[in-house]
């Protein structure tokens, strides 16, 4: 086994310039770990938020740090206490965010975080799934307990999380109202949205009323305005910032904040939906691992349609 690998790390917090493509030591396996050769890794907003230091108090990472927590690849080594996998298995996962991530040629991860890659997807598309799909699942299924026949408003429906949330909600039999820009009308309709609102021209709270669930992927003013569209007993789920407990009580609704956790079992359920043709990832762009700085710049621009993926190896 080689002693070093290529990876993109940060040695300090800051802008894209703190991302360094360099030689690093191979990861060390714990007894319940798998060593995965990474084929592709996706970029998410949490990556640049960590890079800029926004989450350093919450996560207490040790620097230098390999970023990136969306991975597709192949198992090359199995720890003595890791069950369910063997060398050669093609897998995907959202790794533990408190360990080194996937902007690298190899990663060590707990077997419990891993699922076999959907047969319907190549590694580029598979890498675009785990973090966003688990966010959608833990928001709509776990927190909101979305049921068939209910109505859900999904903000930023053309984004990484939003595009998968639309499809997951439809797979569960819900009616979906989606906000996005006019340029994404066709995409959102293709994903299955029942109603589209161009947020650049219309205030969604003027067009939407009495919904069961709001999925907030934006925060700020969008989150505050979202209270108005909920029916009594409805729920506002945010993946950006905790909704106000006081406001929820005043309006007679519920609220939840989701910071996702790795979960191989949930990923297996998502895999089934993908292989049944009910969910597909949307790719905005594919860049080489060495161009992680450019990938971050695109993500931080806030208008990516689907996911940005780093190609690591064929």
What confidence score (pLDDT) does residue 302 get?
72
Residues 30 and 78 in one domain: yes
What confidence score (pLDDT) does residue 304 get?
74
Q: What is the per-residue burial (b if ≥16 Cβ within 10 Å, else e) of 285-314?
A: bbbebebbbbbbeebbeeebbbbbbbbbee
Question: Taking 70 as the threshold, does the pLDDT of residue 259 lie above it?
Answer: yes
Question: Taking 80 as the threshold, does the pLDDT of residue 1 lie above it?
Answer: no
What confidence score (pLDDT) does residue 19 get?
98
Residues 296 and 219 in one domain: no
Mean pLDDT of the region 153-170: 95
Q: What is the residue range of 10's domain?
A: 4-129+281-311
Residues 117 and 154 in one domain: no
More confident residue, 226 or 301: 226
Residues 291, 160, 202, 146: what is their CA dihedral angle, to the nearest 10 degrees?
-170
Count of structural domains within the chain: 2
More confident residue, 73 or 301: 73
What confidence score (pLDDT) does residue 39 get?
98
Question: Taking 80 as the threshold, does the pLDDT of residue 247 lie above it?
Answer: yes
In a domain, 271, yes or no: no
Contact assessment for residue 195 and residue 189, using Cβ atoms and an 8 Å cutoff: no
Percent of the chain with pLDDT strictly greater than 70: 99
**φ/ψ of residue 157, rounded to 5:** -70, -15
Instruction: pLDDT band for 57, please (50, 70, 90 cuts).
Output: confident
In a domain, 273, yes or no: no
What confidence score (pLDDT) does residue 301 get?
85
In a domain, 216, yes or no: yes
Residues 115 and 64 in one domain: yes
Instruction: pLDDT band for 58, please (50, 70, 90 cuts).
Output: confident
Quote the distance between the C-alpha of residue 314 and its chain's center: 23
Quote the distance between the C-alpha of residue 73 and its chain's center: 17
Mean pLDDT of the region 68-79: 97
Mean pLDDT of the region 212-239: 97
CATH number (domain holding residue 30): 3.90.180.10
In a domain, 78, yes or no: yes
In a domain, 164, yes or no: yes
**Most confident stretch, 1-15, 141-155, 199-213:** 141-155
Cα separation of 130 and 137, whole Å? 10
Residues 167 and 230 in one domain: yes
In a domain, 251, yes or no: yes
Mean pLDDT of the region 145-171: 96
CATH number (domain holding residue 166): 3.40.50.720
Residues 253 and 136 in one domain: yes
Q: What residues contact residue 183 under an 8 Å CB cut-off, 6+ apart?
A: none
Residues 121 and 149 in one domain: no
What confidence score (pLDDT) does residue 296 get?
97
**Which class for 173: exposed (0-12), middle (13-18), buried (19 or more C-beta within 10 A)?**
exposed
Residues 88 and 150 in one domain: no
In a domain, 265, yes or no: no
Mean pLDDT of the region 292-311: 90
**pTM for this structure?**
0.94
Convert the pLDDT of each residue in 100-145 to its tens digit: 999 999 999 999 999 999 999 999 999 999 999 999 999 999 999 9
Q: Please give the mean pLDDT across all residues of the chain.
A: 95
Residues 206 and 298 in one domain: no
What confidence score (pLDDT) does residue 267 get?
97
Cα separation of 255 and 213, whole Å? 10
């Amino acid at each position: 086994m080689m002693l070093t690998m290529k990876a993109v790390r940060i040695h300090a917090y800051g802008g894209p310039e703190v991302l360094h493509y360099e030689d690093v030591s191979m990861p060390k396996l714990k007894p319940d770990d798998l060593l995965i050769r990474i084929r592709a890794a996706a970029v998410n907003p949490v990556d640049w938020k960590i890079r800029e230091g926004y989450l350093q108090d919450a996560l207490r990472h040790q620097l230098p740090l390999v970023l990136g927590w969306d991975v597709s690849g192949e198992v090359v080594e199995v720890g003595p206490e890791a069950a369910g996998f063997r060398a050669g298995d093609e897998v995907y996962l959202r790794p533990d965010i408190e360990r080194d991530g996937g902007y690298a040629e190899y990663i060590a991860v707990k077997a419990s975080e891993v699922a076999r890659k959907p047969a319907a997807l190549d590694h580029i598309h598979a890498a675009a799934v785990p973090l966003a799909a688990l966010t959608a699942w833990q928001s709509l299924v776990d927190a909101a307990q979305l049921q068939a026949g209910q109505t859900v408003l999904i903000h930023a429906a053309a984004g990484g999380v939003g595009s998968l949330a639309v499809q997951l909600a439809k797979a569960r039999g819900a009616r979906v109202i989606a906000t996005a820009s006019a340029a994404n009308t066709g995409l959102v309709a293709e994903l299955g949205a029942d109603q589209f609102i161009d947020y650049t021209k219309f205030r969604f709270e003027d067009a939407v009323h009495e919904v069961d669930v709001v999925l907030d992927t934006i925060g700020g003013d969008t989150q505050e305005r979202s209270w108005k569209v909920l029916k009594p007993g409805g729920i506002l789920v945010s993946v950006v910032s905790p909704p106000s407990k006081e406001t929820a009580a005043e309006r007679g609704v519920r609220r939840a904040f989701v910071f996702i956790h790795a979960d191989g079992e949930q990923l297996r359920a998502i895999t089934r939906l993908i292989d049944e043709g009910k969910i597909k990832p949307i790719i905005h762009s594919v860049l080489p691992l060495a161009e992680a700085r450019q990938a971050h710049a695109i993500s931080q621009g806030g208008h990516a349609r689907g996911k940005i993926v780093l190609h690591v190896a064929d």
